[in-house]
Structures are given as C-alpha cells and as structure tokens.
Amino acid sequence: MLISNAIVCDINGERRVDVKVENGVITEIGENLSDAEVIDAKGAYLLPSLVDLNIRLKDSQLNSKNIKAIAAEAKKGGVGHIVLNADSTPAIDDEVVLEFAQNSIKESDDVKIDLMLNALKEDMKLSNIAILLKKGVAAPYMSTIAKNNIAIKIAEYVQMYGVTLFCKAEDNSLINSGVMLEGDISSRLGLAGIPELSEVLHVSRMIEIARYFKIKILFKAIASPRSIELITKAKSEGVEVSCEVSLHHLINSDEACEGFNTTAKLNPPLSSRKDIQELQSALKRGEIDSLTTLHQPNSPLNKEVAFYDAAYGCEALSDALSLYYTKLVKPGIISMGELVKLTVHNPARQIAKKAGVIEVGQRADFVLFDTAKSYEVKNQQSLYDGESLQGEVKAL
C-alpha cells in the first residue's frame, strides 16, 4: 500500500512525501513512489496515532462491552493506544480482575489497550503490586489519599521494578464534600468547593518522595499552575517527575459549571479563567509533558441529576484529534509537531514504549487527518456539544 501526497508530521517536523507500507510496516519513504494500491492523501496530514494514558470506561464499569465501546471511540478520534484507569469497578487490584481485563482487551485489535494496576485496595491496604507488574500491567496507579507509610511502600516497589508511578494528587479531607473549584463561581452557585491546595500540597509531598527514592512519577491530570511550577522546579533539580494536563483544563474554566451544567463537573475540577491563561503559558513554555482527553463517559442516569449528585466526567475520546487541532493547534498555541510530542511521544515514554516517529522499519501505526474538513459535535455529554471542529480522522 502506498500513501501519496501526504504531509507527514512527527516529532521531527513536517515533510510532504509518499509512504509505502508492506505487511503493516513502513518500508519506504520518499517522493514519486509507486505501488499497485495507492491512497491519495490529497495534502492531508499523516500522523502517528495518539496515545492517551487517562481513559475511563462508561460509569467506570470494567466489562467487555464497555472495553469494546471505548476502543471504537478511540479509533474514531485518532487514538491508537489507550491506558485504562485502575480505579474501575471492579478495580484492577488483584490477579482475578487483571486476568479478566486482559482477556477482554484481546478483542480490540485496532486499538492497543493497556492497564494500570491500582496500588491501593478499597480498605487502603496495598494490592499485590509485584505480581501484577510481572503479569503485564503498564504502570502502578495511586491516589495521594494514601498515608505516608503506604506511599513509601509503593515508592519502594516502583524503585524495585523501574516503572513510572501514575499519581493522582488529591487530599481526601478536602475533596470529600466539594464538587467544583472553590472560588467565586462555586460561591455564586452555592456549591461546596475544592481548594487548589488539595492538589498542590500532595504534588509537593510526592516530589520529595520521588527525590528521595529516585523514582519516576507522572502526575495525572494536573489542574493548578502552582503544581506545574513545583514540578518544573523539581525537574531542574534532577527529580524525574512529569505532568499530564487535560485538554479541558486548558480551554474551559469553572464558568462552564454555570447553570449547574453537570457536563462540566470534572475530576479534578475545572480551574479559574486566570489559571487557564497560566496553564496555556506553561504549555507554550514546554512545562507540560503530556495531554489527555480525560475521557470519562457516564450513563444519563448518573449525569442528568442535581450537580452535587452527578458523576464526574465528560466525553471527548471520539473527537480527540479534531479537538486538539481546533483548540490548540489552529489558534497557534502549539504546533502540529508539538502536539505529536505531547499526545504520542511523551505519553508512550511513560509506559516504556517508542512512538511519535514515522520512519522506515516502524509499524504503520498512523492516521490520516484532513484539516480541510469540519463537522459539528453532536454529543450531550461533551463539553463541546454543538461546536464546529476542524479536521477529520480518516481510518487507513
């Protein structure tokens, strides 16, 4: 198969070339190539398929039906590799659940699905991290609701096995009653707020654990600019920490919760308008390491209720590449090459995979993306419902 007239874009930049593929592997890249089977890209981008490390299943229910549905959404959005969150129901914290989940993901041939292990059981005791890591999970996950002695034990396992710890920075005593960011909007709506300190305090704590044990930590879905400052400073001091930020937190403020809009009820909560400006500045400076759609679909039963009772999350996976392009690349916040780095190369490195380069010898794990096309989002569980997005994913 030959893909002609494509703008190949990876972490090395853009070039207009032909790409020849045989048996799923790139065999030749150049100009004026020939083959019996030709796909004319007509100037569309040829990009490595995206990698998203922060995906939840519908209602967080771990079952084969939901896994199949999430794979279909990922493919539609140009995402070829996802990692499912471990805090599902049932949680991936023992061998039985892991084996069930691994059997379920085997059917998803078009989209690579990996699994996290939940380092903490429901009773706040440690899961059997060593066995689960040996059985093929991509990374251990922990919430900082874990007490110091438990967090240190998890760090020791991470150090022993040389993996990256996926860490959600949150304070149990501060998030229990809150449902959105503490501030003017929450006060006006009469909703209990979650202070920014809930995240910042525990980012600081986990940085010191990373420093002491010399381990790698990826902070999941960071929402506070102050957290990014702390992480950036720690990096400059040689601490191996990195941060992931969701698309939503870069472009939507807590004002989206006005009218008690439950679609805007996210975890972590949406930041203030001022924080969005600071997060975008951090993105431009290269201080954010990876992006996520923070996809968390819910049944209407769990969303079409009072804001306080509504489940957290919104949907974005099936529109992923178009959203990133429309909201970040087209306005000039980042380039297409930088998008590939943030959504392919860097996330893949966190799970010890190589991705983000289109070159001879690599698997043909890429998508065609036509920026001349546009469409309207029609999904009531999307923050972008009714909006027009630029760019359309074409499956190869």
Confidence of residue 32 (pLDDT cuts 50, 70, 90): confident
pLDDT of residue 108: 72
H/E segment holding residue 216: strand 216-219
On the question of pLDDT at 302 being above 70, the answer is: yes
Instruction: State mean pLDDT over 33-47.
Output: 92
On the question of pLDDT at 109 being above 80, the answer is: no
Instruction: State mean pLDDT over 47-61.
Output: 97
Confidence of residue 395 (pLDDT cuts 50, 70, 90): confident
Q: How many Cβ atoms are within 10 Å of 234's Cβ, its own excluded?
A: 21
**Inter-helix orientation angle 197-213/148-161, to 10°:** 50
Instruction: State mean pLDDT over 364-391.
Output: 97
pLDDT of residue 106: 84
Instruction: State mean pLDDT over 336-342.
Output: 98
No. of helices (H) and no. of strands (E), the chain: 14, 17
Distance CA 8, CA 3 (A): 10
Q: Which single residue is written with the structure tokens 């975890």?
A: 267
Name the percent of the chain lying above pLDDT 90.
93
Cα–Cα distances in Å, from 309 out to 179, 265, 316? 9, 10, 22
Instruction: State mean pLDDT over 105-127.
Output: 90
Q: H-type helices in the chain, by residue range?
A: 64-76, 95-105, 129-134, 148-161, 172-175, 184-189, 197-213, 225-236, 247-251, 273-284, 300-303, 320-324, 336-340, 346-350
7-20 CB burial, b ≥16 within 10 A, e <16 = bbbbbeeeeebbbb
On the question of pLDDT at 278 being above 70, the answer is: yes
Q: Which single residue is written with the structure tokens 């590799």?
A: 81
Q: Is the peptide bond before 90 cis (omega within 30 degrees of 0)?
A: yes
pLDDT of residue 167: 98
Largest CA distance in the chain: 65
- Asked if residues 325 and 370 have their Cβ atoms less than 8 Å apart, the reply is no
Instruction: State mean pLDDT over 11-40.
Output: 92
Instruction: State mean pLDDT over 202-211.
Output: 98
Q: What is the pLDDT of residues 308-323, one digit of tens each?
A: 999 999 999 999 999 9
Distance CA 227, CA 278 (A): 11
On the question of pLDDT at 202 being above 90, the answer is: yes
pLDDT of residue 396: 56
Confidence of residue 110 (pLDDT cuts 50, 70, 90): confident
CA 90 to chain CA centroid, Å, is 21
Q: What is the pLDDT of residues 170-196, one digit of tens each?
A: 998 877 779 999 999 999 999 999 999
Backbone angles phi, psi at 377, to 5 degrees: -70, 130
Find all residues with CB under 8 Å of 229, minimum gap 6, and list them: none
Which domains are present in the chain? Answer: 49-354 (3.20.20.140)
pLDDT of residue 331: 97
